[in-house]
Amino acid sequence: MKILVIVPAYNEGKAIYNVVTSILREKIHGLNVLVVNDGSLDNTKQEAERAGAKVINLPINLGIGGAVQTGYLYAYYNNYDIAIQFDGDGQHRAADLRRIIDPIKKNKCDMVIGSRFVEISEYKPSFFRSVGIKFFSSLVSRLCNEKVYDTTSGYRAINSKVIESFVNYYPKDYPEVETIAYLIKNGFKVEEIPVVMNYRTEGVSSITPIKSIYYMIKVTLALLILPRTSIN
C-alpha cells in the first residue's frame, strides 16, 4: 500500500528535522513523508528536505486547513491508499504509526484518530484547551449519536475514500472537529485508538484565549450546517 504522512508546518525549523527522521526511522513499507511548508519565514523547507521529506512550498500562509488539504490533494493525485496527518511540532510519536495505520489496512474503518482521552493518560492540556476539548467531545457525540473522546487530535489516518472526500470538502481553519462530525454524519466509520502525545518542545501554539473563543463559536456553527457528500 502507498502511505503518505502529511506534515503541515509553519515556522517549525527547529523541530521538523527530528519529526521527519523519526517517521522515516520506522521503516514502514510504502511510506513517504510530505511536509507542506505553509509560508514559513524560517528554515523549515531546508530542514525538511535535509531530513528526507518531499516538500510543497505554499507561497502564503493558508492555515492548518489549507495546508492539510494541500497534502490530501497530493495524496489523491498520486494514488495513495492511506494518508496520515502528523504535527510538525514534535507532539506526535512516530512509534504509534503502525497502530494508526493497522485498522485502515484491515478495512475496519475509514478514519483512525490517535486519541489522548479514549483511555486515562497523563496528558494534561491547558485550561482553555481542556474546556474546548470537553465541549466539542460532548457536542459531536450528541450530534452524531456516537461517543467521540478526542475531537481535536491532529494525529489521524484516512483511507482513499476519505482522501477523495476531503479533496472536495475540507474546512479552512480548525478542521479537526468538523471533519470528524462530517464523516460520521455521512456514513463513514471513525475509530479512536489510544496514543501518548508529547508536549510541544519548540515554537508557540497559535491558539490564544481570544482565538479559543472564536474557535468554539465558529466550529459550533459549522457543525450545525455540515454538508452531505455523495462519495461513500
Q: Which pLDDT score is estimated for 134? A: 83
Q: Mean pLDDT in the chain?
A: 89
Q: Which pLDDT score is estimated for 155? A: 97
**Cell numbers describing residue 224:** 450545525
User: What does the pLDDT look like over 41-76, one tens digit per residue?
Assistant: 999 999 999 999 999 999 999 999 999 999 999 999
Tracing cell 501554539 back to the chain, one arrives at: 205
Q: Which pLDDT score is estimated for 81? A: 98
Q: Which pLDDT score is estimated for 205? A: 54
How many Å apart are CA 67 and CA 203, to the nearest integer? 18
Residue of 36, 15, 144, 136 lying closest to 84 (CA atoms): 36
Q: Which pLDDT score is estimated for 230? A: 47
Whether 221 has a pLDDT exceeding 50, the answer reads: yes
Contact 158, 110 (CB under 8 A): yes
**At 206, is the pLDDT very low, low, confident or very high (cuts 50, 70, 90)?**
low
Contact 70, 77 (CB under 8 A): no
Share of the chain above pLDDT 70, in %: 86
User: What does the pLDDT look like over 123-171, one tens digit per residue?
Assistant: 666 556 666 778 888 888 888 889 999 998 999 999 999 999 999 999 8
How many Å apart are CA 35 and CA 44, to the nearest integer? 9
User: What does the pLDDT look like over 162-203, one tens digit per residue?
Assistant: 999 999 999 887 799 999 999 999 999 999 999 988 865 555
